[in-house]
Chains A and B, each alone.
Chain A
Amino acid sequence: MKSDVDRMLPSLEPVMLLDPDGRPTAAGKASLPAGEELLRGLAGMVAARRFNEQAYVLVRQGRLAVYPSSHGQEACQVAAAQVLADDDWLFPTYRDTAAVVARGVDPVEALGLLKGDWHSGYDPYERRVAPLTTPLATQLPHAVGVAHAARLRGESTVVMAICGDGATSEGDFHEALNFAAVFRAPVVFFIQNNQYAISVPLARQSIAPSLAHKGVGYGIPGEQVDGNDLAALLTVLSGAVERARAGQGPQLVEARTYRIQAHTNADDATRYRTDDEVTEWVAKDPLVRLETYLRAEGILDDARAAAFAEAAEEIARRTRDGLNRDVEPNPDDLFRFVYSRPTSQLVDQLAVVHDEMSRDALSREEDRR
């Protein structure tokens, strides 16, 4: 008979259903998600990888101000979106653009913030995706608030709140988990542990047995899962979502994964990690692992694989075309969206801008003559 504490503790090892060579583990032989679910996941990962590559290129062409790539973490990105229902909410961090796109947000709109625009780029209510959050862990209390409100209203909404390993050291992480636990908010806290908080390795971040173990202190069940195994992620995350939906309260899921590229274009990862370490993780690539399994089982054929690649190429093309378009920003927008009725100061400032713009136009006019 397991005690309550035992039930909250994660497995001793991360849950893995497919090993890095694409073979089912003992647990995988017992149960795997349906073939169609896995195919959908693979399609999502192929698209996410191509999207990551395209965004990476666009940064170096000056079209994006910055891009924190989720290359290597695509299984986490896709699974987080795939296990949600339409009425659920996703709360992403700045590294989760691929998850946002997997949820159905237009790829160009999804990059609004990282392009350097003053707004998030997409309507959060349309697909129920909160804006990308740059400060660490601040989205977690927001996610709990949305979940708690849904529960008070008697809705069946579940909230998927993503954060990284570094965010678990933030005060907001603590407040969010504690509040969610006490009020049984339907939230899945999904930690993508990619081993580094920018340059700070996990060993300097936490010496807990695992990040999933942090759940028990709040009275929240924790589980750890191989973050490069889409089959395991779908199983663990959908289980957590369904339990939250059934009123059993929040869950904490830690995925062990790895960021293959540098933190962003402003980071040189070779200064804090070795090439050998990266090589080791490249061998655990989530796409290769799932594709190997699906091909071995005859679930995936060349035609289907080509269709996935083509769809991914289409997303890359839309992203490239959309971001290569020069949109003249309207200076009036700066004054527009914070107050329903602008303050007198804003009215004055807008007049100054208009004055300057009209002189500018006049001067050009003279220039032409």
Chain B
Amino acid sequence: MTSAATQQTFLLPDLGEGLTEAEVVQWLVAEGDLVAADQPVAEVETAKSVVEVPSPYSGRVLTLHAAEGETVEVGKPLITIVAESAGAAEPEPEQAGSGNVLIGYGTSAPGEPGRRRPRGAQPAPAAAAPDNRPVKVISPIVRRLAQEAGLDLRAIRPTGTGGVVTRSDVQTALESARPAPVPAPAAAPAAAPGERRIPLNGFRKAASAVLSRSRAEIPEATVWVDVDATALWDLREAARTATDPGPGLLAYLARFVVAGLKAYPVLNSQLDVERDEIVVPDVVNLGIAVQGEHGLVVPAVLGADSMTTAGLDAAIRDLTARARVGKATAEELAAGTFTLNNYGSLGVDGSAAIINHPQVAMIGFGRIIDRPWVVDGQIVARKITQMSFVFDHRVCDGGTAAGFMRSVADAIENPASAIVRL
């Protein structure tokens, strides 16, 4: 029988220079399996990539500390392995949490009970009056310990040379504060009955950061207009032959959008807030919103302004097909100068979309459906779509936005005359 003393717990290391966590994508071993040292035991996804993690120990797997899909913090247990040795087991006095298994950095958990007893009868720090004097702290570790424990450094009694707050002071304060009903901020709240908690994975977290930044920084304005797309619909049908399906509607829309951006280049720009300048690139890299495997991505058709409608059609089909399976290149994902969002494909009519920061504008198309429309005083069925346009009000005014909108809308309604001018 193996004793607890032969257990070794592998704590998740920092897998890529400064990462704080990783999501277990897949376990490559099961509890009860035998593993060799350096054998990959799990596939994990960090903010940077998916990697296989090899075990530093050999033996039998006792515990997998996370379920697939769960996120593990760096320094927390990943897997526990029991050494398989017949008879004379090596003395293995160290256990998880001791120095021997401090693989990676900074594994001491902030919420762990400290070893210290308060020295002397130190009163718990009372709520102090506002005090603006700088607190004497030398070590950033001390600041971090206090911050993680939710302690105000001013409320800690310093005992270091010259009134400096030391690490042991923080830990002493932590001990005294413990009995008080202070919620531990580091502890993950458990799910309440009737609810389920889904951790944000790397992709959603990154998306969340970009979207929040856009909404926080950009004073945006949204305008919209209903457009009669019947003529464009007919044109698309007319361009079809037995052998060639012709460009899709999205390609025509993209072509009109590119023409509009050429006429209103300020909408195809970025704002350099440091220098108070609008940066207008020479090219249009047209971002296309695509629902990929992991979520929404916006890869760009590079150099869209030099393409014909047929060229755009091929480029968009290729790009969206690759993006859906996560194969858009890093350049394509980063190079967009403007975004076209075809949310109509999801069956909706309108959207007040969020600008894809650092771009300054986005055009959106709702689904095209038959609606009653007044043409020459008669109510007839027409193919109608709602077009929305959101823009960064810092770079232009509503007049510019409306001018751009109209240029695209007019092209959709009268494609024949628009094409003559292209």
Residues of chain A whose beta carbon lies under 8 Å from any beta carbon of chain B: 54, 57, 59-63, 65-66, 116, 199, 262, 264-268, 270-272, 320, 324, 326, 328, 351-352, 355-356, 359-360, 363-364, 366-367
Contacts and interface: CB of A to CB of B under 8 A. Distances in A.
B371 interface: no
Contact of A352 (B11, B117, B138): B138
Contacts of A271: 329-330
Contacts of B53: 60-61
Which of A60, A266, A352 has the most chain B CB atoms inside 10 A of its CB? A60
Interface in B90-119: 99-100, 102-105, 115-117, 119
Interface in B13-42: 13-18, 37-38
Nearest to A363: B116
Nearest to A65: B17
Contact of B56 (A63, A66, A363): A63
Interface string B371-382: 000000000000
Q: Lowest 8 CB-CB distances: which A-B pairs, in order? A: A62-B13, A268-B49, A62-B104, A266-B16, A271-B330, A266-B17, A62-B103, A61-B56
- Among A265, A355, A366, the most chain B Cβ lie within 10 Å of the Cβ of A265
A265 B104 contact: no
Contacts, number: 91
A272 B100 CA distance: 39
A364 B114 CA distance: 10
Given A272-B330, A324-B56, A367-B115, A61 B17 contact: no
Contact of A268 (B48, B138, B329): B48
Nearest to B94: A326
B122 interface: no
Contact of B10 (A61, A199, A272, A326): A61
B320 interface: no
Contacts of B99: 326, 328
Contacts of B17: 65-66, 264-266
Interface stretch (B161-169, B192-200, B224-232, B392-400): B161-169
Contacts of B159: 359
Contacts of A65: 14, 17
B48 to A, nearest CB: 6
B54 interface: yes
Contacts of A199: 330
A366 B117 contact: yes
Nearest to B13: A62
Contacts of A266: 16-18, 48
B185 interface: no
Nearest to B326: A270
B13 A267 contact: no
B220 interface: no
B100 A57 contact: no
18 contacts: A60-B51, A60-B54, A62-B12, A63-B103, A266-B17, A266-B48, A267-B16, A272-B329, A272-B330, A272-B331, A320-B38, A326-B100, A352-B161, A355-B160, A359-B159, A360-B168, A366-B117, A366-B119
A320 B37 CA distance: 10
Interface residues of B, number: 41
Contacts of B138: 352
B13 A61 contact: yes
A265 B160 CA distance: 40
B64 to A, nearest CB: 17
A57 B160 contact: no
A267 B15 CA distance: 10
Contact of B13 (A60, A262, A326, A364): A60
A54 B116 CA distance: 40
B302 to A, nearest CB: 15
A60 B54 CA distance: 7
A267 B100 contact: no
Given A264-B17, A326-B99, A367-B117, A62 B164 contact: no
A94 to B, nearest CB: 13
Contacts of B37: 320
A364 B15 contact: no
B52 interface: yes
A356 B168 contact: yes
B41 to A, nearest CB: 10
A302 B117 CA distance: 65
A366 B164 CA distance: 23
Residue with the highest number of chain B CB atoms closer than 10 Å, among A62, A63, A116: A62
Contacts of A359: 159, 166, 168
A118 B331 CA distance: 36
Contacts of A62: 11-14, 103-105
Interface string B52-79: 1111100000000000000000000000
Contacts of A366: 116-117, 119
Contacts of A267: 16, 48-49
A169 to B, nearest CB: 20
Contacts of A320: 37-38
Contacts of B171: 363
Given A265-B17, A326-B100, A57 B166 contact: no
Contacts of B16: 264-267
Contacts of A116: 105
Given A60-B13, A60-B15, 10 more contacts: A57-B38, A61-B55, A62-B14, A63-B56, A65-B14, A265-B15, A266-B48, A271-B329, A272-B331, A320-B38
Nearest to B50: A268
A265 B16 CA distance: 5
Nearest to A349: B138
Contact of B103 (A54, A61, A270): A61
A326 B164 CA distance: 31
A346 to B, nearest CB: 13
Given A60-B15, A60-B51, A366-B119, A356 B167 contact: yes
Contacts of B330: 199, 271-272
Nearest to B53: A60
Contacts of A351: 161
Most chain A beta-carbon neighbours within 10 Å: one of B16, B55, B104, B138: B16
A159 to B, nearest CB: 31
Contacts of A272: 329-331
A272 B350 CA distance: 36
